[in-house]
Chain A
Amino acid sequence: MGDLLANLLNPYNLQLVMLIAINCLLGLSVWVPLSAGQLSLGGAGFMSVGAYTAALLTLQAGWSMPAAILAGAALAAALALLLGYPTLRLQGVYLAIATLAFGEMVRILALNLRITNGALGLAGIPQMVDEVSWYLWDHTSLGSGQGPLDPHTAGSLIILGVLYVLLAAAVYALLRQAGSRVGRALRAIQADELAARAMGIDTRYYKLLVFTQSGFLAGLAGGLYAHLYYFIGPGDFGFTRAIEMLLYVVLGGMQTLWGTLVGASALTLLPEVLRFSASYRLMIYGGVLVALMIFRPEGLISAALVDALSWRRRRPARALPPGEGAA
Chain B
Amino acid sequence: MARRGHAGAAPRPLETGAHAATVWLQQLINGVSLGATYSLVALGYTLVFGTLGIINMAHGEIFMFGAFFGLLLVETGLLSSVGMLAAAAGGAAVMGLLLEYIALRPLRRRQGGHLTPLISTIGVSIFLRSLALQLFGPESQSFPAALKGGSFRLGGTVVTQVDAVILTAALGLMLGLWLLLGRTKLGKAMRATAENQTTAALLGVNTEAIIALTVMLAAALGGVAGALVGLSFAVSPSMGLPYGLKGLSIIVLGGMGNVVGAMVGGLLLGFAEVVTVQLFSSSWRDMAAFALLFLLLVVKPEGLFGRAHQAGGKV
Contacts and interface: CB of A to CB of B under 8 A. Distances in A.
A298 B241 CA distance: 27
Interface string A92-107: 1111111011101100
A80 to B, nearest CB: 15
A33 to B, nearest CB: 10
- Please provide the 10 A-B residue pairs with the shortest distance between their CB atoms, ordered closest to farther: A289-B123, A297-B112, A286-B127, A282-B130, A286-B126, A92-B312, A293-B120, A39-B315, A101-B290, A94-B312
Contacts of A247: 119, 122
Contacts of B131: 283
A251 B301 CA distance: 30
B224 interface: no
A60 interface: no
Main SS class of interface, A? helix
Contacts of B311: 91-92
Interface stretch (B76-84, B88-96, B103-111): B103-111
Contacts of B293: 97-98, 101
B123 A240 contact: no
Contacts of B123: 285-290, 293
A37 B103 contact: no
Contact of B127 (A93, A279, A282): A282
Given A108-B286, A289-B120, A100 B314 contact: no
Instruction: Tell which of A38, A282, A290 has the most Cβ of chain B within 10 Å.
Output: A290
Main SS class of interface, B? helix
A102 B126 contact: no
Contacts of A34: 315
Given A91-B312, A283-B131, A97 B102 contact: no
A90 B1 CA distance: 30
Given A102-B290, A250-B119, A290-B127, 20 more contacts: A92-B311, A92-B312, A93-B55, A93-B312, A94-B297, A97-B249, A98-B294, A104-B290, A108-B284, A243-B122, A246-B119, A247-B122, A280-B134, A285-B123, A287-B123, A289-B123, A293-B116, A293-B117, A294-B107, A297-B112
Given A108-B287, A285-B126, A37 B314 contact: yes
Contacts of A38: 315
A37 B315 contact: yes
A90 B113 CA distance: 20
A143 interface: no
B115 interface: yes
A90 B297 contact: yes
Interface in A54-111: 86-87, 89-98, 100-102, 104-105, 108-109, 111
Interface in A258-309: 279-280, 282-283, 285-290, 293-294, 297-298
Given A243-B122, A289-B119, A235 B55 contact: no
Nearest to A240: B1
Interface string B254-297: 00100000000000000000000000000110110111011001
B314 A290 contact: no
Interface residues of A, number: 50
B216 interface: no
A155 interface: no
Contacts of A89: 301
Instruction: Tell which of B1, B245, B289, B290 has the most Cβ of chain A within 10 Å.
Output: B290
Given A39-B115, A279-B134, A289-B122, A95 B312 contact: yes
Chain B interface bracket (under 10, 10 to 19, 20 to 34, 35 or more): 35 or more
B43 interface: no
B305 to A, nearest CB: 14
Interface of B: 1-3, 49, 55, 102-103, 106-107, 110, 112-117, 119-120, 122-131, 133-134, 241, 245, 248-249, 252, 256, 283-284, 286-287, 289-291, 293-294, 297-298, 301, 311-315
A19 interface: no
Given A297-B110, A297-B116, A87 B245 contact: no
Contact of A91 (B102, B125, B294, B314): B314
A127 B169 CA distance: 54
Contacts of A105: 287, 290-291, 294
A239 interface: yes
Interface in A108-143: 108-109, 111-112, 119
Contacts of A151: none
A250 B249 contact: no
A311 B110 CA distance: 31
A67 B229 CA distance: 47
A193 to B, nearest CB: 9
A184 to B, nearest CB: 19
A26 interface: no
Instruction: Tell which of A39, A282, A294 has the most Cβ of chain B within 10 Å.
Output: A294
B294 A93 contact: no
A221 interface: no
Contact of A250 (B115, B129, B313): B115
Given A92-B314, A93-B256, A104-B286, A286 B130 contact: yes
Contacts of B117: 293
Contacts of B284: 108, 112
